[in-house]
Amino acid sequence: MDVANLFYDQGLSQYALDFMQSSSMTSFNQLENAQRIQSIMNIPYYSQQIVTHTMERGTTKRVKLNTSFNEESLELRNIQIRRKSSRSFQEHIRLEELANLFLSSYFITERFEKHSHHLSRRSIPSGGALYPVDLYYINLNTIGLPRGIYVYNPHEESLELVQSAASKKIFFRQLKKCFPEAVLGSWNLDLISGILVFGGVLSRCSCKYGDRGLRFVLMDVGALCQNLHLSAVTNGLACCAIGGYLDQPLNDLLGFQQPNESALLSMFVGK
């Protein structure tokens, strides 16, 4: 088996590729999606019903869980209690605060010697230590960082410029196309410091795990999302995961090569 070919061959089946396609938000299905979301959001009782309905187990024996937290686990619990999705931003973050966010949520925890075959481990678990998600930062208003699109490099602990913004007006217009009001409601881009995009490199996982690798990529997104949320709390920052974006314009803006590179989630960041 030639490993080089494994990476360049399409490791995902047509079913998996179809799933990526059918789960995309497009300009054609955005209104249908928005209506479905609104019909649930408008009546809070529905959300309650959905959650409780799928938790019903009938009559079961219960084992009461009594805790014995130590100081550290209490601290971790308290950080989780303070975590929340913020949708109103007041101030802009500074570059150092952005650095704190990245380096306390996604970073190399253990480096091995260069000639070693082992990979560096990072701050999240990842199937096969393949780390198939790259974090992009669309900088709108971060203080001390020129406007543009960056990719975070955890090895060098740096941001690499992918594309600088031509002008604020054109840049914001491009972003409004990616995050349409029809789906998200109105958001003031002037108040958001930047938008994180979780860029999945599907082939990084599928070359080893095939279709099952697609699940693993999504799990990395979840772990990263939670780490970023918890880091935001401890660094006095605010964030909100945003699934309501149009896939194609966002993928195009970031220069992703479909279908193997895809924006899997985004996150508004501010203060």
Ligand X SMILES: Cc1cc2nc3c(=O)[nH]c(=O)nc-3n(C[C@H](O)[C@H](O)[C@H](O)COP(=O)(O)O)c2cc1C
The site for ligand X (CB under 6 A) is made up of 84-85, 87, 225, 240-244, 265
State the Cα–Cα distance between residues 133 and 158, nearest whole angstrom: 16
Answer whether 244's CB lies under 8 Å from 179's CB. Answer: yes
Answer whether 150's CB lies under 8 Å from 160's CB. Answer: yes
State the Cα–Cα distance between residues 207 and 177, nearest whole angstrom: 33
Closer residue to ligand X in complex, CB, 152/187? 187
Supply the minimum distance, in Å, between the C-beta of residue 134 and ligand X: 18
Supply the minimum distance, in Å, between the C-beta of residue 64 and ligand X: 25
Closer residue to ligand X in complex, CB, 124/242? 242
Answer whether 209's CB lies under 8 Å from 156's CB. Answer: no
Phi, psi for 223 (deg, rounded to 5)? -65, -45
Supply the minimum distance, in Å, between the C-beta of residue 87 and ligand X: 6
Closer residue to ligand X in complex, CB, 42/68? 42
Supply the minimum distance, in Å, between the C-beta of residue 40 and ligand X: 11
Supply the minimum distance, in Å, between the C-beta of residue 10 and ligand X: 26
Of 239, 245, 268, 140, nearest in space to 182 by CA: 245
Answer whether 205's CB lies under 8 Å from 128's CB. Answer: yes
Mention every residue, 6+ apart, whose C-beta is less than 8 A from residue 24.
247, 248
Closer residue to ligand X in complex, CB, 29/85? 85
State the Cα–Cα distance between residues 244 and 69, nearest whole angstrom: 38
Closer residue to ligand X in complex, CB, 10/33? 33
Element (H, E) at 134: strand 133-139
Closer residue to ligand X in complex, CB, 87/118? 87
Supply the minimum distance, in Å, between the C-beta of residue 221 and ligand X: 8
State the Cα–Cα distance between residues 260 and 209, nearest whole angstrom: 14
